[in-house]
Structure 1
Amino acid sequence: MNRILITGASGGLGTALAREYAAPGRTLLLWGRDRDRLESVAATSRAAGAVVAIRSLDLTDVAAAIAAIEADDAAGTIDLAIFAAGLGDIRAPGAHVEDAGQVARLGIVNFVAPAALASAIAARMARRGRGQVVLVGSAAAFHALPFASGYAGSKAGLARFADALRIGARGHGVSVTLVSPGFIDTAAAHATPGPKPFSLSPAQAAARIAAAAAQGRAHVVMRWPFAGLRWFDRLLPRSLRDRLLRALTPPGH
């Protein structure tokens, strides 16, 4: 894998992924919204020996993002595409439900954009018979969080899409990996209230994502307690599950 695309590279996890993959002989295509942060990440990656190109763009413009990934792949074959960009948010304090605009933004950035981009690059990879796609979801996808319905719902959609894309693309030499992390210790995570048990550092999460991609794994949940909670959620009677999920709502939300 010589040419690697990383979206969300100006965020905490994306920065760590760039550092994980930066090495001589590799080209990194780093996408993000914060150009200054991208420049900083690019400089660090170049110091590690990688060739780097950056794009500052907003994934809410899905058509422009699709055109960009097709242009980047036409300029040089993308061997590995990691879609790590995402937004996290919860219901506003005192609100009965989440704001409609917030739900729309989360749906576009967390599901529509990465799914469309993964489809675009997987189609090109399939035509040449090789390639890897990694979609970063969330352990929240497996739980009906009443205070974060937009976030959980968008990640749930991405999880189902990733599984379907994996099955469809497997016969054409394209592997698809879904990563479902729990909490990652980033600035974005700090902005959300509530405890963050079993949190991973961005570097730890990046190393685990790289390992899962190298192994061609279909799905990895990080850390293991979140995998257990996934099955626990499925086995609980609905009435008990609902009460437990309501009890997790941060005070005031």
Structure 2
Amino acid sequence: MSKIGRTFPGISGPKRILVTGASGGLGSALARVHAAPGVSLCLWGRDRARLDAAADQCRALGSAVEVRSLDLADGEAALDALRAEDADMRFDMAYLVAGRGDTRAPGQRIESAGLALRLGQVNFSVPAAMASELVQHMAERGGGRVVLIGSAAGQHALPFAAAYAASKAGLARYAQALRIAAAPLGVSVTLAAPGFIDTPAGRAVPGPKPLLLGADEAARRIARAAMAGKGHFVTPWPFAALRVIDRMLPTGLRARLLRGLAPPGG
């Protein structure tokens, strides 16, 4: 029995699951949360070696696993691959985890145009398009679950991570709109907005990381929220409180505080 089965006893969990970003720490942890006999997983990721390692872990837990190595910067290729995979597996749940957390390079005052373009594609445009495609297919089959991975950073105008914060903010608004449209069709859409997660990619980002969550714990919390049908899930909870505080601050004070959050050298 998967961890989801133990969390929701008596409730049948999803059996055909797509996880993008499965070569990363959170994506692979989400795959393991669901891995169990009778569950088929389709894992996507950029790093083939880490992707194969994640697949082996899930197979050891009893799942049938297929893998695909690709970069979501090519949106049309990603959509073509999604259509082909869904025609074969008929996904009843999808975690769209893939994204990049790049910030302003040391010594730069403003992020590069190239970084803004890439993060807009990988963090917003492509996962939004994939979510829309999945909802349409799931609705035709009578239901399903789509989980988009945002970030607590999307709640704040971070001057050293403008493209990252903006792309996650855009994804949050898109998820909200898609959730409203998809609910009458029997498809739930969840936006998970975690704070700092202890992954190799996260450790590479300089600066303090308060309320750090382990990848496995973050995955369990997100999976529980998705299975419960929550629309917007922020974890740990203090990040939800920070969102309220941010909106209450005077504009000038907010700007000074956000500038002060820049990591050393950023």
Normalised by the size of structure 1, how large is the TM-score? 0.98
- Secondary structure of the 1:93 match is coil
Task: Look up the match of 1:252.
Answer: 265
**Please, which of 44, 62, 66 is the counterpart of residue 75 of structure 2?**
62
* TM-fit CA distance, 1:252: 2.7
Superposed, 1:147-226 pairs within 5 Å as 147-226=160-239
Q: Which residue identity does 1:246 align to in structure 2?
A: R
**Please, which of 16, 25, 29 is the counterpart of residue 42 of structure 2?**
29
Report Cα offsets for 1:202-247 as digits up to 9, x if no partner: 0001001110111000011010110110000011111111111111
2:65 is aligned with 1:46: no
| Contact residue 192 and residue 233 of structure 2 kept, 8 A | yes
- Secondary structure of the 2:100 match is coil
2:151 is aligned with 1:104: no
State the alpha-carbon separation in 2 of the partners of residues 251 and 64 from structure 1: 38
Identity %: 60
Structure 1 unaligned blocks of 5 or more: none
Find runs of 4+ consecutive structure 1 residues off by over 4 angstroms: none
State the alpha-carbon separation in 2 of the partners of residues 252 and 203 from structure 1: 31
State the alpha-carbon separation in 2 of the partners of residues 236 and 243 from structure 1: 11
State the alpha-carbon separation in 1 of the partners of residues 133 and 81 from structure 2: 10
State the alpha-carbon separation in 2 of the partners of residues 57 and 92 from structure 1: 25
* TM-fit CA distance, 1:128: 1.9
* TM-fit CA distance, 1:251: 2.9
Task: Look up the match of 2:97.
Answer: 84
**Please, which of 121, 124, 135 is the counterpart of residue 122 of structure 1?**
135
State the alpha-carbon separation in 2 of the partners of residues 133 and 238 from structure 1: 35
State the alpha-carbon separation in 2 of the partners of residues 42 and 172 from structure 1: 32
- Secondary structure of the 2:262 match is coil
* TM-fit CA distance, 1:76: 2.2
2:159 is aligned with 1:146: yes
Q: Which residue identity does 1:172 align to in structure 2?
A: L
CA RMSD of aligned residues (A): 0.8
2:22 is aligned with 1:9: yes
State the alpha-carbon separation in 2 of the partners of residues 251 and 48 from structure 1: 42
| Contact residue 139 and residue 187 of structure 2 kept, 8 A | yes
- Secondary structure of the 1:55 match is strand
Normalised by the size of structure 2, how large is the TM-score? 0.94
State the alpha-carbon separation in 1 of the partners of residues 102 and 161 from structure 2: 7
Task: Look up the match of 1:93.
Answer: 106
